Amino acid sequence: MNILLDIIFYVWCLRILANIFSFIQLWFIKEYRLDRMLIHLRTNQGKKIYFLPFRRPPIIPKTICLFFLMFFSNFLIFWIPEAHWVLKLFIIDLLSFPISGFWVFILHLPTIIWHKIIVELAKNKLQNHKSLKIIGITGSFGKTSTKEYLYTILSEKFNVLKTEASKNSLIGIAEMILHKLTPDHQILIAEMGAYKMGEIKQMVDFVNPQIGIITAINAQHQDLFGSLEATIRAKFELIEGLKDKKIAIFNADNKYTFKMAEKAHQQKFHVWLYGRNTTNYPDWPQKILRAQNIDIDLDATKFDLTVDNQSYHIQTSVLGEHQVGNILAAIAGSLSMGMDMESIVKAIKKLTPYAKTFEKIYGMNGTIFINDTFNNNPDAARAAIKYLSLAKGNKILVFQPMIELGKYANESHRQVGEYAAKYCDWIFLTNNNFYHYFQEGVTQVNPQMKASVLPLKEIAAQIKSIIKPEDMVIFKGKEAENVLKILI
């Protein structure tokens, strides 16, 4: 009996320790934001907060500090006098997550102070670079790829500095400036993300961009913004803060950004438009970039670009029709910096997919895997699913349900499910968030098709058992990446 109790004790302690790691990892993913955590807790996954799969957080000062604070708190609870160890472990198990939230809250104040110091130091450094040209990029999606493509093109002629990965917050930009900006840099590209009004304005007031690019607007992060109107107002803060050149570049194919372009025109900004739309554009933009004759295959993307009454043939190894818009935005940004089209066309041939955004991987048995796990939103999901139509064999989708879509979540999942049923032979979901609505969309197109919700290892096993030469598997969303890792 004592041996059994000892086993229970040690297994329970290991469970608590594993949960501490997983809670810290979850807070890290949610950027230590209470608003994002509360949204997560309302999902089916969030309701199982005490039964998380083990995830190790990155080893950085804040996660290390959180670990020791939580461990110390739990240690104090365990030494409650005159309480049975079962009761103590039960209390520790129950309170571990609230305790993690408490310490995140306590650490918030010193974090704010530290961030203000970093921002002020970076601001002082930036003021010493009077000749630096600055481009700001924002949007609901497409901004990271656009930034990377713009950097590649501009680097052919200029010494360029860009924000790293998706570090698109005020502190991310400040740290980049503080640690990496040198007197030799001629251009700074700042990707700007936000979850609420005022956050982009802070970044704009900090870096003072002359050029602004808005890639697209959709329902992403509506749980945080509250409405599409609020998202539009927040993203337009970039345009309102432009200095000097005041060139505002917009995606004409997205109805929301097109309306923003009209507003910018009314406010006397220099408006440029880009798009794949073949309908007539208004006559007020100062420059229009139009892509036509788009040709997408498994190895390349080709299209004809018309700008300033001249045509250019564009070819790149970047895959997917949806990437044409991001490339157009990068071309527009390069033109705004004075590059000529001949140099731009040459540089575009060097473009490569950004990590985990439509990366092609040759899988087992002659299959093609597409790693598109960097992000997930309704437009990106439809674009990825449409690309499956190029496959000669079975078309398989591994999909993580989307997050933070607010009131648009149910309908967005229904629409994506409907779209998936048109193109896919197999659909695997990595969790059961919004499953009912996703399956409802699938059933509308194909009543016999069923999306499978399975543990990640079982999804991988299923795929291994069914794939054959010329099949294609697209992995969409961060959880889907774990399935891909098992398979390769």
The CATH number of the structural domain formed by 359-487 is: 3.90.190.20
In whole angstroms, how far apart are CA 254 and each of 217, 257, 258, 276, 379?
7, 5, 6, 10, 11
The reported pLDDT for the residue numbered 42 is 87
The reported pLDDT for the residue numbered 283 is 86
Helix (H) / strand (E) containing 11: helix 2-29
- Within 195-322, where are the H helices? 199-207, 222-225, 228-240, 255-266
Q: Which of 225, 271, 266, 273 is nearest to 248 (CA)?
A: 271
Q: Which of 293, 298, 239, 294 is nearest to 271 (CA)?
A: 239
Q: Does 68 score more than 70 pLDDT?
A: yes
Fold of 130-348: UDP-N-acetylmuramoyl-L-alanine:D-glutamate ligase (3.40.1190)
The reported pLDDT for the residue numbered 224 is 67
Mean pLDDT computed over 120-124 = 95
Confidence of residue 198 (pLDDT cuts 50, 70, 90): very high
Q: Same CATH topology for 130-348 and 359-487?
A: no
Mean pLDDT computed over 352-356 = 88
Cα angle 184-190-193, degrees, rounded to a multiple of 5: 160
List, for residues 12-24, the tens digit of each pLDDT value.
999 999 999 999 9
Q: Is 463 exposed, middle or buried (0-12, 13-18, 19+ CB in 10 A)?
A: buried
> What string of DSSP letters covers 95-144?
HHHHHHHHHHHHHHHHHHHHHHHHHHHHHHHHTT-TT-EEEEEE-SSSHH
Mean pLDDT computed over 291-308 = 93
Mean pLDDT computed over 276-286 = 81
d(CA 235, CA 219): 13
Give 408's DSSP letter. Answer: G
Percent of the chain beyond pLDDT 90? 73
Q: Which of 168, 174, 111 is nearest to 142 (CA)?
A: 168
Q: Which of 130, 144, 136 is nearest to 185 (CA)?
A: 130
Structure tokens at 262: 């009209």
Helix, strand, coil distribution of the chain in percent, nearest 5: 50, 15, 35
Confidence of residue 222 (pLDDT cuts 50, 70, 90): low
Confidence of residue 215 (pLDDT cuts 50, 70, 90): very high
Q: Does 220 score more than 80 pLDDT?
A: no
Structure tokens at 197: 């009004």
30-34, 185-189, 349-353 — which one is most confidently predicted on average? 185-189
d(CA 189, CA 169): 13
Confidence of residue 148 (pLDDT cuts 50, 70, 90): very high
Residues 127 and 305: beta-carbon distance below 8 Å: no
The reported pLDDT for the residue numbered 208 is 95
The reported pLDDT for the residue numbered 278 is 60
Residues 235 and 285: beta-carbon distance below 8 Å: no
Domain boundary assignment for the chain = 2-114, 130-348, 359-487
Over its C-alpha atoms, the chain yields an Rg (Å, rounded) of: 25
List, for residues 226-268, the tens digit of each pLDDT value.
688 888 999 999 999 999 889 999 999 999 999 999 999 999 9
In whole angstroms, how far apart are CA 235 and each of 106, 197, 240, 274?
31, 8, 9, 18
Q: Is 315 helix (H, G, I), strand (E, B) or coil?
A: strand
Q: Is 196 helix (H, G, I), strand (E, B) or coil?
A: coil
Q: Is 272 helix (H, G, I), strand (E, B) or coil?
A: strand
Percent of the chain beyond pLDDT 70? 98
The reported pLDDT for the residue numbered 165 is 81
Considering only residues 222 and 362, tell me which one the structure prediction assigns the higher pLDDT: 362
What type of residue is 212?
A: G
- Furthest-apart CA atoms within the chain: distance in Å: 86
Neighbours of 18 (CB within 10 A): 15
Helix (H) / strand (E) containing 438: helix 435-445
Residues 213 and 135: beta-carbon distance below 8 Å: yes
Give 195's DSSP letter. Answer: S
Average pLDDT, the chain: 92
Residue 403, C-beta contacts closer than 8 angstroms, at least 6 positions apart = 39, 40, 43, 223, 376, 433
Q: Which of 138, 129, 140, 76 is nearest to 102 (CA)?
A: 76
d(CA 314, CA 312): 6
